[in-house]
């Protein structure tokens, strides 16, 4: 698939992601993806292939289609054109290989359920229709809470958790899914410093186990610190590849359309060990 | 047209007009269901007024209803603010409880006289011409005309006096508060007007169908015009139309007039929903279709732009997964606009085509989505 | 039959059975509509059922429950689909869409109903039940249908509990797991229509929504677990149904439907006020206790500060002096000193107060918290010293011992606060 792609698109502005010389299909492959809601295109002709075992950040301004990209992978929105493949197959076939961590705001935290209960939901796929989660399932869920350092919050009702704790519950749920590819929507948003470190530690652990993480990320300065690769999205794909070569001032400017804020300039400076240019 | 028919139509038109005026704001403020709740919850107020005065005089009933309207709104807000209940649940527990109290009051304490539930619930406008009032020793005509006329005046007064306050608090309560208006006061004023309107309409169309007059014509108007003043005026017009049509419909079938009016309002709404020139379903579908075609064309242009050589039609079909027919259609449309040219080798983009892409959906979004 | 003097008639048994069944089923299913914020959808479906019932009658000519139920079901499903369509395919918002379907369908139903009245043999007193709920008219066959349907609904809830929980809590996540969320939603709506139809005969159109929402809302106040909430809601619903039926049977001119709703509403009020944790009275009490504790601790600290200012001699402090410290009234000081005196932290001589040795320990603990927090604010957050007192006043009551010890360690065991005052050391042994 990729060689044909390369031959037909000789004039791509950015080199494609470095494909490793293995036989394994990329963890995530998006081809010519266009998604339009009502009267607005949200994603436009996006082409990206992400190899397995990496931590990839998806960045771009508001409304750039980042969440939509994740939802398109999960089959939650229908593409106008194009397709998505996960480990070389359609998502529906590889469902158990993919774990999803939605945005924290997507859920009503006043719901009568405990942290442990939420994590157990991650195992429902294994529990199957009509059956109750078994004791083993609950034990697994407890373990996952432990890995995120919040085992003692298991019985707590979720509205009584802080933002960082809620995020950890979501991540524990993802862990319970034991997936090979994790799609995360703003996992670092609105969490305290301790939780941020815990999340990063988790990501490193996942990578060590050979799993793949694709995370929509809002905080530019931390992209080089936390992630190996980056996908720059503004409705169209601006660039995709390893952070070192892709997370450049030029690409960022193109993504964010106009002068970069001080923050992103600082991020770039950090990456390339240069003083900030006062442009 | 006979005298009684005229009276019925007049009463119906008056009810429709008052309901349309306050109902427009209910629809815009997303409080349609609070209006529904009030229309049921006023029952104990009416019952109490009846019990205390021993008569079906209009004024005590209006006062009783107004009071209950305020009580309803207050209770719903209090429950919601306590954060123990969400807003829809607050409404759903308050109005049935109040209605239940009303039914019990009526059953226990008024079973001898004819304040009966059926009438309150679905009224009977046909009796309006017969129910006349007299004062100063003279017959002043149908009571319903006086009552509904008075409620219309009240509603008009409210809207005229508080027009800009209502408008602002409907669209931006935070700004209104910051500017020194009190959204809370406006809210209670509106809800009191709704309560008064509702009880005024009870006699003719009954509680349940008042909701139809409050919500349906304004919703239809919402789909047809863009400005608030136009929306109110159109809602009134559509409400009156529903009255006329519904009356004719009901007479033809020899069925409930109130039910007929509600059904006619529904039919008007459906017509607006489907055929509205700006927001209707037909227009939407056509727009979506046009958009999809535009997107397809732009996608193809995009791929052509990046290429050095021409792209054979076959490759287009394979790449996009389009049927041969679709390929033909898209290409034909692009060709007609001179955005592509076709020769033996395949498709190629023209300079105009390349230029058109610059303004197309390929520009990065500058605003938040 | 007679039971202890009360005649329990056949009618009463039927009403009792019907009301209880409805109460339980409505309560259980109502939990899901409550959590999905669709409480008023039940109201709309109750109104929308009427034309369905009429059409079923017109088509089959029969007033037996089953075809009428099917008609109501069809109308209910049509109504909910229309609501969704209106919201999706126009700019009309959901509340207006619900109001439209509710009133227009009902209006159509009334037209049909009055038409049926004109037909020979179209005595619509049978259909009238569906409007206002005449529970007294329930017969055994009605109960059989109600019972069967309710059992089916409850069985469905048990079987698909976790699936519907997922639908209500995190629909997107459930979809990503592969569950057909659309199908589950439609299924839940169908169950809702069934319950509505079951309940129409007992409570009528207007009150139907209360049998769904009120018990569930009440149950929510008592528990944070959905499983418990569902069972509790069913119980509350069943109890209100039964009590309502009995009460209306015993007292004349007390219609069943409204009585059931009033009982349920009363149980809701009790739950809102008295449920532990969430209950409003508990919350108020907690608030009161917390404020009292703060006042007590402040008083203790004030006495200490007097002594500290006097060069470390902790002698009796007069009441006027204490009043001047914080601007409190004499009565307030009296009130807050009593528990301190009882606890042996203060001793008095006339109106004057003095720290006991135990009181000294306690006061130093408080002062330590306050001053450590001030150090933290000035050092770590770099706030100026004159800005930190207020914050520390608040924080000193909220910090736990463990947190303060951590703070002490993190700051390197400072000796003085930003104002140069000594920070009391941690007491090793407790008396």
CATH number of B3-277: 1.10.3470.10
> DSSP letters of A87-120?
TTB-GGGSGGGEEEE--GGGS-TTSS-BHHHHHH
Chain C closest CA to B309's CA: distance in Å? 42
Could you read off the pLDDT of C232-255 as tens digits, one per residue?
999 999 999 999 999 988 887 788
Both C312 and C264 in a single domain? no
Q: Pairing state of beta strands C6-7 and C2-3?
A: antiparallel
Q: Which of B8, B53, B18 is nearest to B39 (CA)?
A: B18
Residues of B in contact with C214 (CB under 8 A): 92-93, 96-97
The structure tokens listed for C249 are: 């049977």
Which one is predicted more confidently, B203 or C7? B203
Could you read off the pLDDT of C394-419 as tens digits, one per residue?
888 888 888 888 888 888 888 888 88
B368, with CB counted inside 10 A (0-12, 13-18, 19+), is exposed
Name every residue whose Cβ is closer than 8 Å to that of residue B289 and which is 6 or more positions away in sequence. Answer: none
- Scanning the structure block, which residue is given the tokens 């209360």? C210
- Give the per-residue pLDDT at A278: 44
Please say if the pLDDT value at position A232 is more than 70: yes
Question: Which range among A145-159, B136-150, C370-384 has the greatest average pLDDT?
Answer: A145-159
Residue spans of the domains in chain B: they are 3-277, 282-359
Number of domains in chain C: 2
Residues of B in contact with C127 (CB under 8 A): none
Q: Report the distance separating Cα B29 and Cα B170, nearest Å.
A: 5
Q: Check the CA dihedral A110-C275-C257-B94 and report its sign.
A: negative
CATH number of domain containing C315:
1.10.10
Please say if the pLDDT value at position A20 is more than 50: no
Q: Report the distance separating Cα B311 and Cα A8, nearest Å.
A: 9
Q: Which of A244, A248, A240 is nearest to A264 (CA)?
A: A248
Does the distance separating the beta carbons of B208 and C106 come in below 8 Å? Answer: yes
Q: Which CATH class is domain B282-359?
A: mainly alpha
- Give the per-residue pLDDT at A4: 37
Q: Which chains touch A (3 or more CB pairs under 8 A)?
A: B, C
Q: Is the interface score ipTM higher than 0.90?
A: no
pLDDT by 10s per residue, chain B, length 369 = 677 788 888 888 999 999 999 999 999 999 999 988 998 898 898 888 888 887 767 788 888 888 999 999 999 999 999 989 999 999 999 999 999 998 888 888 776 555 555 555 666 665 666 666 655 555 556 777 888 888 899 999 999 999 988 888 888 888 888 887 888 889 999 998 998 888 877 766 677 678 899 999 999 999 999 899 999 999 999 999 999 999 999 999 888 888 899 999 999 999 999 999 988 999 988 888 887 788 788 878 877 877 767 788 888 787 777 788 888 888 888 888 888 888 877 888 888 887 877 765 544 433 333
Please say if the pLDDT value at position C40 is more than 70: yes
Residue C256 near residue C248, CB atoms below 8 Å? yes
Q: Report the distance separating Cα B195 and Cα B74, nearest Å.
A: 13
Q: What angle do CA B167, B168, B169 make, to 5 degrees?
A: 95
Within a domain: C389: no
Residues of C in contact with A71 (CB under 8 A): 172
pLDDT band at C226 (very low <50, low <70, confident <90, very high): very high
CATH number of domain containing C130:
1.10.3470.10
Both C134 and C240 in a single domain? yes
Helices (H), chain B: 3-28, 32-41, 43-53, 58-81, 87-109, 117-122, 143-161, 163-171, 173-178, 183-222, 228-253, 257-275, 281-306, 313-320, 324-336, 351-359
Least confident of A123-127, A132-136, C8-12, C118-122: C118-122
The structure tokens listed for B151 are: 């409620």
Both C22 and C86 in a single domain? yes
Residues of A in contact with B307 (CB under 8 A): 8, 10-11
Does the distance separating the beta carbons of C166 and A114 come in below 8 Å? Answer: no
Residue C256 near residue C136, CB atoms below 8 Å? yes
Does the distance separating the beta carbons of B369 and A62 come in below 8 Å? Answer: yes
Report the residue of chain B nearest C89, measured CA to CA: B281
Within a domain: C394: no
- Angle formed by the axes of helices C39-60 and C125-132, nearest 10°: 170
Round to the nearest angstrom and report the end-to-end CA distance of chain A: 42
- Angle formed by the axes of helices C226-250 and C181-220, nearest 10°: 60
- Scanning the structure block, which residue is given the tokens 């020194």? B180
Report the residue of chain C nearest A122, measured CA to CA: C177
How much is the mean pLDDT over chain A? 83
Name every residue whose Cβ is closer than 8 Å to that of residue B85 and which is 6 or more positions away in sequence. Answer: B79, B93, C217
Residue C368 near residue C423, CB atoms below 8 Å? yes
Q: Which of A61, A73, A72 is nearest to A35 (CA)?
A: A72
Within a domain: C36: yes
Within a domain: C245: yes
Q: Which of A83, A100, C108, A165 is nearest to B256 (CA)?
A: C108
Taking residue B230's Cβ as centre, other Cβ atoms within 10 Å add up to 12
Does the distance separating the beta carbons of A113 and C173 come in below 8 Å? Answer: no
CA atoms in the 13 A half-sphere facing the CB of C348: 15
Residues of A with CB under 8 A from a CB of B: 8-12, 32, 34, 36, 38-42, 44-45, 61-65, 80-81, 234-236, 254-255, 257
Please say if the pLDDT value at position C75 is more than 60: yes
- Give the per-residue pLDDT at B359: 65
Tell which of C355, C387, C402 closes a domain. C355
Q: Which CATH class is domain A25-106+179-272?
A: alpha beta
Q: Pairing state of beta strands A212-216 and A181-185?
A: parallel
Containing domain of residue C297, as a range? Answer: 282-355
Residue C135 near residue C256, CB atoms below 8 Å? yes
The structure tokens listed for C214 are: 């009120």
pLDDT band at C308 (very low <50, low <70, confident <90, very high): confident
> Would an 8 Å CB–CB cutoff place C95 in contact with chain B?
yes
Both C306 and C265 in a single domain? no
Q: How far is CA A250 from the centre of its chain?
A: 23
- Give the per-residue pLDDT at B348: 82
Within a domain: C362: no
Name every residue whose Cβ is closer than 8 Å to that of residue B122 and which is 6 or more positions away in sequence. Answer: B205, B206, B207, B208, B209, B256, B258, B259, C110
Residue spans of the domains in chain A: they are 25-106+179-272
Tell which of C221, C248, C274 closes a domain. C274
**Minimum-distance CB partner of C115 among B99, B209, B255:** B255
- How many helices (H) and strands (E) chain A has is answered by 11, 9
Both C258 and C307 in a single domain? no
Within a domain: C424: no
b/e burial code for range B187-223 (CB count within 10 A of at least 16 → b): bbbbbbbbbbbbbbbbbbbbbbbbbbbbbbbbbbbbb
Residue B240 near residue B16, CB atoms below 8 Å? yes
**Minimum-distance CB partner of B100 among C90, C258, C280:** C258
Within a domain: C306: yes
Q: Which of B361, B305, B362, B293 is nearest to B331 (CA)?
A: B293
Tell which of C317, C337, C355 closes a domain. C355
pLDDT band at C325 (very low <50, low <70, confident <90, very high): confident
Q: Taking residues C211-217, what's their average pLDDT? A: 96
pLDDT band at C125 (very low <50, low <70, confident <90, very high): low
Residues of B in contact with C107 (CB under 8 A): 209, 212, 258-263, 265-266
- Side-by-side strand order, sheet with A212-216: A98-101, A181-185, A212-216, A55-59, A229-234, A236-242
Please say if the pLDDT value at position A8 is more than 70: no
The structure tokens listed for C217 are: 């809302």
Both C163 and C119 in a single domain? yes
Distances (CA, A) of B129 to A229, A274, B197, B244, C45: 80, 89, 20, 17, 34
> Would an 8 Å CB–CB cutoff place B82 in contact with chain A?
no
Residue B235 near residue B22, CB atoms below 8 Å? no
Q: Report the distance separating Cα A171 and Cα A206, nearest Å.
A: 12
């Amino acid at each position: 698939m990729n060689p044909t792609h390369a031959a037909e698109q000789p004039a791509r502005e950015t080199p494609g992601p470095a494909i490793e010389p293995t036989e394994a299909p990329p963890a995530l492959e998006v081809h010519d993806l266009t998604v339009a809601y009502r009267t607005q295109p949200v994603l436009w002709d996006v082409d990206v292939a992400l190899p397995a075992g990496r931590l990839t950040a998806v960045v771009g301004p508001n409304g750039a289609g980042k969440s939509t990209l994740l939802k398109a992978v999960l089959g939650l929105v229908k593409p106008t054109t194009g397709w998505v493949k996960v480990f070389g197959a359609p998502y529906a076939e590889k469902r158990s290989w993919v774990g999803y961590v939605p945005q924290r705001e997507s859920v009503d935290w006043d719901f009568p359920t405990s942290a442990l209960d939420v994590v157990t939901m991650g195992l429902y796929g294994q529990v199957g229709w009509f059956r109750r989660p078994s004791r083993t399932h609950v034990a697994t869920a407890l373990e996952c809470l432990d890995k995120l350092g919040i085992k003692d919050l298991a019985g707590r009702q979720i509205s009584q958790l802080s933002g960082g704790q809620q995020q950890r519950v979501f991540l524990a749920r993802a862990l319970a899914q034991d997936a090979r590819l994790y799609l995360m929507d703003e996992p670092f948003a609105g969490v305290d410093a301790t939780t941020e470190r815990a999340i990063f530690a988790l990501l490193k652990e996942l990578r060590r186990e050979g799993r793949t993480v694709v995370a929509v990320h809002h905080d530019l300065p931390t992209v080089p610190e936390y992630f190996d690769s980056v996908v720059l999205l503004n409705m169209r794909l601006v660039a995709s590849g390893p952070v070192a070569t892709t997370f450049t001032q030029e690409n960022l400017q193109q993504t964010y359309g106009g002068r970069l804020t001080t923050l992103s300039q600082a991020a770039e400076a950090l990456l390339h060990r240069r003083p900030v240019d006062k442009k | 047209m006979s005298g009684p028919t005229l009276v019925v139509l007049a009463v119906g038109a008056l009810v429709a007009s008052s309901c349309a005026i306050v109902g427009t704001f209910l629809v815009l403020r997303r409080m349609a269901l609070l209006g529904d709740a009030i229309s049921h919850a006023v029952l104990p107020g009416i019952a109490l007024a009846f019990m205390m005065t021993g008569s079906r005089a209009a004024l005590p009933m209006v006062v009783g209803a107004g009071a209950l309207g305020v009580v309803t709104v207050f209770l719903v807000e209090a429950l919601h603010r306590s954060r123990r209940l969400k807003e829809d649940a607050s409404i759903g527990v308050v109005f049935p409880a109040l209605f239940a109290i009303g039914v019990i009051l009526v059953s226990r304490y008024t079973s001898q006289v004819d304040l009966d539930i059926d009438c309150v619930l679905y009224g009977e406008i046909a009796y309006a011409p017969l129910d006349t009032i007299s004062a100063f020793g003279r017959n002043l005509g149908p009571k319903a005309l006086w009552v509904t006329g008075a409620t219309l005046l009240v509603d008009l007064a409210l809207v005229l006096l508080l027009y800009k306050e209502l408008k602002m608090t409907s669209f931006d309560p935070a700004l209104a508060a910051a500017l020194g208006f009190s959204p809370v006061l406006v809210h209670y004023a509106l809800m009191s007007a709704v309560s008064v309107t509702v009880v005024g309409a009870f006699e003719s169309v009954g509680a349940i169908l008042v909701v139809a007059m409050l919500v349906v014509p304004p919703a239809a108007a919402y789909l047809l015009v863009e400005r608030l003043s136009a929306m109110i005026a159109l809602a009134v017009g559509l409400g009156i139309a529903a009255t006329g049509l519904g009356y004719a419909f009901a007479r033809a079938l020899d069925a409930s007039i109130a039910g007929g009016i509600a059904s006619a309002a529904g039919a008007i709404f459906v017509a607006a929903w489907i055929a509205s020139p700006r927001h209707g379903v037909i227009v939407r579908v056509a727009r979506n279709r046009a958009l999809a075609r535009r997107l397809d064309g732009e996608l193809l242009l995009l791929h052509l732009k990046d290429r050095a050589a021409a792209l054979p039609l076959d490759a287009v079909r394979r790449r996009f997964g389009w049927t041969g027919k679709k390929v033909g259609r898209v290409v034909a449309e692009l060709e007609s606009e001179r955005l592509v040219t076709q020769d033996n080798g395949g498709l190629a983009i023209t300079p105009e085509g390349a230029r058109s892409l610059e303004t197309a959906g390929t520009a990065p979004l500058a605003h938040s989505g | 039959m007679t039971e202890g003097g009360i005649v329990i008639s056949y009618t009463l048994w039927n009403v009792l059975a019907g009301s209880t069944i409805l109460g339980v089923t409505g309560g259980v299913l109502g939990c899901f509509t409550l959590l999905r914020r669709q409480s008023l959808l039940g109201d709309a479906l109750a109104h929308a059922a009427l034309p369905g019932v009429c059409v079923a009658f017109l088509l089959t000519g029969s007033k037996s429950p089953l075809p009428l139920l099917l008609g109501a079901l069809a109308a209910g499903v049509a109504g909910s689909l229309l609501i969704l369509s209106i919201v999706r395919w126009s700019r009309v918002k959901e509340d207006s869409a619900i109001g439209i379907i509710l009133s227009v369908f009902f209006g159509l139903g009334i037209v049909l109903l009055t038409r049926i009245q004109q037909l020979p043999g179209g005595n619509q007193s049978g259909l009238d039940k569906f409007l206002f709920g005449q529970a007294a008219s329930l017969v055994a066959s009605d109960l059989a249908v109600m019972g069967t349907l309710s059992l089916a609904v409850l069985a469905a809830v048990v079987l698909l509990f976790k699936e519907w929980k997922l639908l209500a809590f995190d629909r997107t996540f459930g979809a990503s797991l592969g569950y057909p969320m659309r199908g589950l939603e439609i299924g839940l709506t169908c169950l809702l229509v069934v319950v509505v139809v079951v309940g129409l005969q007992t409570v009528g159109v207007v009150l139907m929504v209360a049998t769904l929402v009120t018990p569930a809302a009440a149950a929510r106040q008592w528990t944070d677990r959905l499983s418990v909430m569902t069972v509790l809601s069913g119980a509350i619903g069943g109890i209100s149904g039964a009590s309502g039926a009995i009460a209306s049977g015993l007292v004349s001119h007390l219609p069943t439907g409204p009585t059931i709703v009033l009982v349920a509403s009363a149980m809701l009020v009790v739950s809102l006020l008295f449920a532990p944790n969430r209950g409003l009275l508990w919350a108020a009490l907690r608030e009161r206790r917390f404020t009292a504790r703060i006042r007590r601790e402040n008083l203790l600290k004030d006495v200490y500060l007097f002594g500290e200012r006097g060069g470390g001699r902790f002698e009796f402090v007069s009441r006027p002096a204490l009043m001047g410290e914080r601007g409190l009234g004499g009565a307030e000081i009296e009130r807050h000193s009593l528990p301190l005196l009882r606890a042996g932290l203060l001793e008095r001589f006339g109106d004057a107060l003095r720290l006991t040795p135990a009181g000294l320990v306690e006061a130093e603990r408080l002062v330590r918290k306050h001053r450590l927090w001030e150090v933290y604010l000035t050092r770590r957050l770099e706030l100026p010293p004159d800005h930190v007192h207020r914050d520390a006043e608040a924080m000193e009551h909220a910090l736990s011992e463990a947190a303060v010890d951590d703070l002490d360690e993190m700051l390197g065991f400072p000796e003085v606060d930003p104002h140069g005052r000594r920070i009391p050391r941690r007491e090793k042994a407790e008396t």
